[in-house]
Each structure stands twice: as C-alpha cells, then as structure tokens.
Amino acid sequence: MIITTIIYALALSWLRLAIGMVISIIISIFVGILAGMNKTAEKIIIPIVDILQSIPILGFFPVAVFFFVNFVPLIGVEMAAVFLIITSELWNFIFAVYESVRSIPSYILEQAQLSNMSLMDKIAKIYIPSAWPRIIDNIPISWAIGLFFLSSSEIISLGTTTYQLLGIGSITFQLFNLGDFQDLYIAFISLFLALVGTHALFFRPLNEWSQKFKYEFTSSVTSTKIPWFISTFIRSSRPFRNITKHIVIPRRPISPFIKSRNLEPSYLPPSIEGNVLSYKNKIAIFNIAKILRYITYIALILITGIFIYFITGPIINSIYILENLNNFIYILTSVAYSGIRILIASAIMFPIIMLALLVATNNLAKRVLLPLILIIASFPAPLFIPLIILWFGPKVEIIAILVIISGSIWYIFYNAYSSIQLIPEDIKECILLSNLSKIQKFKKLYFPAMLPGLVTGFITAIGGAWNALIVAEWISIGNEVYSVKYGIGKLIDSAASSGDLNLMYASLIMMILVVVALDRTLWKKLYDYATSKFRYEI
C-alpha cells in the first residue's frame, strides 16, 4: 500500500525535523544565554550569528554531505540532513534566547542578585523560563524552514553517487518520476493534513502553555494586536539585529544603593552566619561560572579551529579558480542572472500587499483566510516543483521563479499585514472622519504605513530567495535534469553533481560575498530609512 509508505515517509521526515529542532533549541539555550549574560561573548557571538543567518545555507549542503558521508559511515546521510535542519533553524533560536535574556526586566535580575541566587539557579529559574515564550513562538516557523530544507535535501547526488533518504521530500519526487500522479496528490494531501494536525495538536497547545512565562510589562507591540503565529514570522524576518538596540533595559541595577556586585555582601542579613554562608556560596558560584565560561571559550575556539581547518583548503582552491578571469566573469554572470530572477519574482509578488490589506481591514477575510494562509505558508516550496512541472510543463525559468515566489511571498504578506495592524487606533479614526476616497486612503495611510513592513518583508524574502535558487535552478528528478542556462544555484548544484568541488566552493564563496555585501549596504540603508521615517511617535 502506497499510503502506508507515504505515512512512514512523513513520520521519518517529522522525526528528522524534531531531532534537528531539539538539538537547535539546546544549543541556542547555551549560546543565547551566554551572549545575553556576558558582554565579551555577546560581542563575539552576535555578529557571527548575524552573518551566518544571512548566508544561503543550502549551498553548504553538498559540503556537509561530503563531510558526513566520508567521516561517519552508515548514518552519514541522516546526520547531514539533521545538520542541514539545524543550520537552518539555529540562528533564529539563538536570537530568540538572546533577545529574551536581554529583555528580562532589570528588577527581576536585581531581585535575584539580592537573594543571592547561584548561577545555576539563575539559569534554571530565570533565564530559561524567560526564553521559553520566544523559543516556542519560533517553533512553527522553524518547522516550516526546516521542512523547506529537508524536503529538498533528501535526495542528493555528489559526483557519481546519489544519496537518498526515505522521507516526504524524496517520496514526492519519486512518485512524480514514476508518473504516479494520483499517489502524488495523496502525498500532498497527507502532508497538508500532517501540517494541520501538527499545528492544532502540538504548536497551539505549546503556545498556550508558554504564555505563563511572559512578563506582563515586556509584552511587545506585536503581541497584542497580532496573532502569535504571525508575530513569529515578523520576528524571524527582522533582517538586521544589532547589539546596541537591545540595551534598552539596563542589565545592571541602576539603583544608587547597589553600585556593583562587590558591594553585595553588605546587603545580606546582618548575622555573621549568613554572611559566611553566602560568602562560601559566592566562591562556589564564582567557580562554576568561571569553569562554565572556560568550557564555552574552549569549545568556541575548538569549533572555530575545526571550521578554519576545513575551509582554508576550499578557499585557497577557490581563489585559484577565481584568478582565471573567464571563470570569474562566468560565475559573476551566473550571480547576475539569478539576481534578475529574484527581481522578477519580487515584482510578481508585489500585489500580495493588496491581499494583506484586505485581510487586515476586513474581518471576514481575516477569519477565513488567515488560518488557511498559515498552513499554505508552512508548505515547503521545493515540493511544488513536481506540481509546477505537471501543470506548466518543464519550463525551467517558470519553475525557478515560482519556487522563489512560493518560498518567500509569505514574509511579505505577514509583514505588510502586521504593519497595517500596528496603525494606531486614533489615526484610523481620524482617517475615517476625513471621509477620504479609497485611493486617497491607500496613498496617504495604508501604503506609507505598510512601507516598513514591506522593506523588512522584501529583504527577508530576497534572503530566502537565494536559498530557493539552489533548489529551483537545477532540478534532477530520476534521470531527468531540469536546468536553467545561467544561474548561481545551477552552477553550485551542477558542480556538486559532477564532483567539481573546487568550482562549487568558488561559486558558493562568490554568492555569499554578493549576498552579504548587498545586505550590509543597500538593504541596511533601505531598512534604516523605512523604519525611522515611518515610525509612529507615542
């Protein structure tokens, strides 16, 4: 029975996602709390994570497979898949934990300091509980992102070898390859139901449970007016995060009576016993903290070392390849072609803002469409490829653009939607009293109000589009290869599949350079402009 195979495949994919997510959350709790507590660690970790999250991870997949298959026999491919899921989710989780730790109200930390809590107690009783709501908020979108990457990575060819895992991604492609379209639709419906079930039975109750950890006073603007699953989209699409922005709430006590940690003992109960005890405690805390810190530093140095060891070779080889002007121009042209595809996709996606406007201003549309959009948005874009080929024929350019669109359009939708939701009530009333026409309302109110969200949404969408390119520009199903002529995604994929690892590294490096450069210059300026000019004063 094909249906049992489909359910089995779904279960395997779900299991990989769950394992990847649990590992991501555990790592993020360590790294995020460290960055939130310690200034030095913060200065190192946050910029690195910020860069890593803007890099198209999918490009690394062939490298990861190569590594795991060669170094870990038997379960190497499984590990590579889980690794890929982790790299797609980890950064979001780290930021969630970090930002939660940074926004713990100062009086709570002051209280902890006064009651002489040990570091372990602080982590267990304050830091981790404060981080839960944001971690749990992040689960649905991370699941969607993980599924995106997993579904496109269950089949991978490196050189002459093809590695395959049974999962919902590989089974859809197989069914398509076999021409078994009826079962293909069954697979899609099963995936849809699995997503609905996961949302209803797992994400929603989890979210309700996490509410109890929220501080009353730190609720962000987004939390009251916007459904939780949308605020996740918004938070994870904040393209630029920096350290200074989060130092809103002082971490150190600002009370004039408590100037520094060293003064602490004098505020303890006057009994000598108490003082001695707490002094002992203090030493113990200090040592645990010190040991933990050293362990983390050593781990960081080790990881960096291993990382540098593995990337120096590829980088040197890449430089050899890029030194050849023809290669350089060829790779750069490929990037340009891909960029044009992203631009076209962005132009096509633009009208989605009208849907956002409708959903945000019409109650009926909101009730009917929002839950539906949530499920559609968590549907992995790469799995649309067989459907697109089925419906439109094997037109590669159309596939590429449609995959880009289906992977990133919801970021634009949700951000535009939430921007409209955040318009203050009195401004809405004032516009109502002004008796403007629909076009005037759009021009003067809704469009400017949407701009910050649009910029954020588009930057995130474009960031995601680079990933989608790697899936969309070069598709191998069975013996067929659907490929565009030029494109950076095609170059990376075809190089990986033909075993030309050096060309693959060079293409990857070029793409990362272009993406990071665009991020740091153009997008950042646009983002700063939009978020400062169109902010409401309160």
Partner 1 sequence: MTEIKKPVLILKNVSFSITSKSSKFEIIHDLSFEVYEKEFLAITGPSGCGKSTLLRLIAGLLKPTTGTIFLNEKPITGPTNKITMVFQQFALLPWLTALENVELPALKLIPDKEKRREKAVKLLELVGLSGFENSYPKELSGGMRQRIAIARALMSDPEILLMDEPFSNLDQLTASNLRSEILSTLFNPSLSLKSVILVSHNIEEIVELADRVIILSKRPAQLVKEIIIDLPRPRSIRLPKFTSYLDTIYEYLS
User: Does 529 engage in binding with partner 1 (CB under 8 A)?
Assistant: no
362 lies in the site for partner 1, by CB under 8 A: no
Nearest to 9 by CA among 155, 138, 178, 145: 155
Region of 67-75, 298-306, 442-450, 508-516 interacting with partner 1 (CB under 8 A) = 442-450
* Contact call for residue 313 and partner 1 (CB under 8 A): no
Q: How many CB atoms lie within 10 A of CB 228?
A: 18
> Tokens 């949308």 identify what position?
230
Choose the binding region for partner 1 from 65-73, 124-132, 490-498, 527-535 (rule: CB under 8 A).
527-535
Q: Beta strand pairing status for 474-477 and 161-164?
A: unpaired
**Interface with partner 1 includes 538 (CB under 8 A)?**
yes
Closest to partner 1 by CB, 216 vs 537, is 537
Q: What is the C-alpha to C-alpha distance for residues 116 and 199, in angstroms, rounded to an integer?
A: 41
Say whether residue 364 binds partner 1 (CB under 8 A).
no
In the structure encoding, which two tokens stand for residue 20, read together?
Answer: 């990847």
DSSP bridge pairs for 475: 482
Residues 6+ positions from 526 with CB-CB distance below 8 Å: 455, 459
Binding of partner 1 by 357 (CB under 8 A) = no
Closer to partner 1 by CB, 268 or 431: give it.
431
- Of these, 280, 444, 485, 525, which contacts partner 1 (CB under 8 A)? 444
Q: Decide whether 503 or 530 has the Cβ nearer to partner 1.
A: 530
What letter would DSSP give residue 74? T
Instruction: Identify whether the C-beta of residue 236 lies closer than 8 Å to the C-beta of residue 92.
Output: yes
Q: Which stretch binds partner 1 (CB under 8 A): 43-51, 300-308, 476-484, 529-537?
A: 529-537
Q: Quick one: which segment of 221-229, 351-359, 441-449, 467-475 binds partner 1 (CB under 8 A)?
A: 441-449
Neighbours of 304 (CB within 10 A): 12
Does 224 help bind partner 1 (rule: CB under 8 A)?
Answer: no
227 vs 487, beta carbon nearer partner 1 = 227
Residue of 124, 434, 478, 516 that binds partner 1 (CB under 8 A): 434
For partner 1, which is the closer residue by CB, 300 or 436? 436
Q: Tell me: does residue 367 bind partner 1 (CB under 8 A).
A: no
The only residue of 178, 283, 430, 516 in contact with partner 1, by rule CB under 8 A: 430
Residue 189 burial by Cβ neighbours in a 10 Å radius (0-12, 13-18, 19+): exposed
Closer CB to partner 1, residue 347 or residue 439? 439
Site size toward partner 1, by CB under 8 A: 22
Question: Using CB under 8 A as the criterion, what x/- string covers residues 479-518 for binding partner 1?
Answer: ----------------------------------------
User: What's the Rg (C-alpha) of the chain?
Assistant: 25
CB 132, CB 210: distance < 8 Å: yes
Give me 36's structure tokens.
């939130």
537 binds partner 1 (CB under 8 A): yes
* Tokens matching residue 343: 């631009």
- Which lies closer to partner 1 via its Cβ, residue 160 or residue 435? 435
Q: What is the DSSP string of 76-127?
A: HHHHHHHHHHHHHHHHHHHHHHHHHHHTS-HHHHHHHHHTT--HHHHIIIII
4 binds partner 1 per the rule CB under 8 A: no
User: Taking the chain, what is the end-to-end CA distance rounded to the nearest angstrom?
Assistant: 62
Point out which span in 54-62, 73-81, 98-106, 430-438 binds partner 1 (CB under 8 A): 430-438
Site membership for partner 1, residue 533 (CB under 8 A): yes
Given the rule CB under 8 A, which of 191-199, 322-330, 350-358, 528-536 is the region that contacts partner 1? Answer: 528-536
Question: Do the beta carbons of residue 473 and residue 493 sit within 8 Å?
Answer: yes
Q: Please identify, using beta-carbon distances, which residue of 323 and 528 lies nearer to partner 1.
A: 528
Q: Is 193 in the site for partner 1 (CB under 8 A)?
A: no
* Contact residue for partner 1 among 182, 242, 435, 479 (CB under 8 A): 435
Helix (H) or strand (E) run with residue 158 in it: strand 155-158
Are residues 381 and 442 in contact, defined by beta-carbon separation less than 8 angstroms? no
Widest pairwise Cα distance in the chain:
83
For residue 162, the cross-strand partners are 157
Q: Which of 164, 448, 526, 531 binds partner 1 (CB under 8 A)?
A: 448
Residue of the chain from 427, 513, 516, 522 that contacts partner 1 (CB under 8 A): 427
For residues 486 and 534, which CB has a smaller minimum distance to partner 1 in the complex? Answer: 534
**Of 38-46, 87-95, 281-289, 443-451, which segment contacts partner 1 by CB under 8 A?**
443-451
221 binds partner 1 (CB under 8 A): no
Cα–Cα distance measured from residue 303 to residue 310, given in angstroms and rounded to the nearest whole number: 11
Does 424 bind partner 1 (CB under 8 A)? Our answer is yes
Q: Considering the rule CB under 8 A, would residue 280 count as an interface residue with partner 1?
A: no
Task: Provide the minimum distance between the beta carbon of 535 and partner 1 in the complex, in angstroms, as a whole number.
Answer: 6
C-alpha 15/C-alpha 167 separation (Å) is: 10
> Measured between alpha carbons, how far is residue 32 from residues 28, 349, 356, 502, 532 in Å?
5, 34, 33, 35, 28
**Distance of CA 475 to CAs 389, 445, 519, 520, Å?**
11, 43, 27, 31
Rank residues 326 and 437 by Cβ distance to partner 1 and give the closer one: 437
Cα gap 170→173, rounded to integer Å: 5
- DSSP-derived letter for residue 442 is I
- Which residues of the chain form contacts with partner 1 (CB under 8 A)? 424, 426-427, 429-437, 440, 444-445, 448, 533-538
